[in-house]
Amino acid sequence: MEHLTVELVHQFLSGQMHSADECRWRAHLDECARCRELVENERTWNSMLNLGEADDPAKPTAMERVLDRVEHVVPQRRTRRRRRLVALLGGWTLAALLTALLVWQVSYPPGTTDPDAATSVAHELRTETVAHLDELRALERDPWLLDDYETVKTLDDLIREYRP
Amino acid sequence: MRTARGAILTMLILLLAALDVAIYVGQREAHRSAEQGPEWDTWRKLSEPARAEYTRRYQELLSQGRDQHALSRARRFARLTLDEQARLRALHGIVLDVLRRQPAVERRDLLRASPRARAFFVYQFLNDEMRQRLRQLEPTAETG
């Protein structure tokens, strides 16, 4: 006894079978429980996947829609992941740069752009000189203050103290 | 989770940026105010050779280790009135004059002696041999 194959079931369900064959298989199905089960199973699968719509060639089949969706979703996911990764890396890079800038600013404040030892000493010497500019000018006018101030001051005290 | 991580990163970046700006502004302001004041105004008015000369003199005092004494004497002298300053200048002239009158050996010893000892010697010399001049040196009402 001849039974339906999956291929024949497809033809049967999609209406692509010759009418004579269809009548013959319908009669067979009335008698054969195994072929009936095969047809039922196939019909259930078709309805689940909505393959019946495949009759309209303009409309994409369920499988095509699934594949189409997969093609769209997978690259989107990849792009999103890549974008997230780029944002994360960019963020951490920016944070690292800002930290480096912070360290640089603390290490080399404005005015010490050339932070070698000689420049630093020269800068300090200049600042000290400016701070003592009045005294340096006094010493310039009266250089004897350096060596003879104590002598002169003591002499002055003596004259005042032992005034006749 | 991802949103929280992103928010923490954003906050960290904002915090770092704010710190950067605050430190930059603070340091710039500190640097600007550090070189301001009457002394700096006077300094800027000086010519470049004059600045170099003052710097050289200060450096010389530093290298000789006399900076503290010298600057302190200059400060004390500057606090005196102009009359008092003039009197001390005159007294210095007399000290030099008295020392010049001494024989070379004694002058050398006097220059090696302490300032106080030198002053006593000059006073004694004036008292013994230049009494008239000593009288002239007695302080007037103006010089205290």
Q: Which of B132, B125, B96, B103 is nearest to A158 (CA)?
A: B125
Check residue A88 and give its pLDDT: 85
Find the residue in A nearest to B6 (Cα). A88
Residue A23 sits at the chain B interface (C-beta within 8 Å): no
Q: Which residue has the higher pLDDT, A89 or B2?
A: A89
Check residue A83 and give its pLDDT: 85
**CA distances for A114 relative to A43, A49, A103, angstroms:** 85, 75, 16
Q: What is the ipTM of this complex?
A: 0.72
Check residue A44 and give its pLDDT: 84
Check residue A142 and give its pLDDT: 92
Check residue A121 and give its pLDDT: 82
| Cα A44-A50-A52 angle, rounded to 5 deg | 90
Check residue A80 and give its pLDDT: 81
Residues of chain A with Cβ-Cβ distance to B23 below 8 Å are 102, 105-106
Query: Helix B82-101 and helix A145-161: axis angle, to 10°?
Result: 100
Check residue B56 and give its pLDDT: 93
Find the residue in B nearest to A105 (Cα). B24
Find the residue in A nearest to B19 (Cα). A102
How many Å lie between the alpha carbon of A82 and the closest alpha carbon of chain B? 14
Determine the average pLDDT of the residues in A51-74.
68
Answer yes or no: do B55 and A148 touch at CB < 8 A. Answer: no
Q: Which residue has the higher pLDDT, A70 or A4?
A: A4
Testing the interface with B: which of A83, A149, A160, A161 to mutate, by most B Cβ within 10 A? A149
**What's the mean per-residue pLDDT of chain A?**
82
How many Å lie between the alpha carbon of B106 and the closest alpha carbon of chain A? 17
* pTM given for the model: 0.52
Residue B107 sits at the chain A interface (C-beta within 8 Å): no
- pLDDT tens across the length of chain B (144 residues): 667 878 888 888 899 999 989 988 888 887 777 778 888 888 999 999 999 999 999 999 999 888 888 999 999 999 999 999 999 999 999 999 999 989 988 889 888 899 999 999 999 988 888 777 777 777 665 555
Residues of chain A with Cβ-Cβ distance to B119 below 8 Å are 150-155, 158
Check residue A164 and give its pLDDT: 57
CB pairs under 8 A between A and B: 144
Residue B17 sits at the chain A interface (C-beta within 8 Å): yes
A76-80, A109-113, B84-88: range with lowest mean pLDDT: A109-113
Answer yes or no: do B74 and A150 touch at CB < 8 A. Answer: no
Q: Which residue has the higher pLDDT, B143 or A139?
A: A139
Does residue A55 surpass a pLDDT of 70? no
Q: Which residue has the higher pLDDT, A119 or B124?
A: B124
Answer yes or no: do B92 and A111 touch at CB < 8 A. Answer: no
Task: Centre a 10 Å sphere on the Cβ of residue A137 and count the other Cβ atoms it contains.
Answer: 14
Residues of chain B with Cβ-Cβ distance to A108 below 8 Å are none
Residue with tokens 């200060």: B58
A25-29, A42-46, A142-146, A147-151: range with lowest mean pLDDT: A42-46
Instruction: pLDDT band for A162, please (50, 70, 90 cuts).
Output: confident
Give the gyration radius of chain B's Cα atoms: 30
Check residue A110 and give its pLDDT: 67
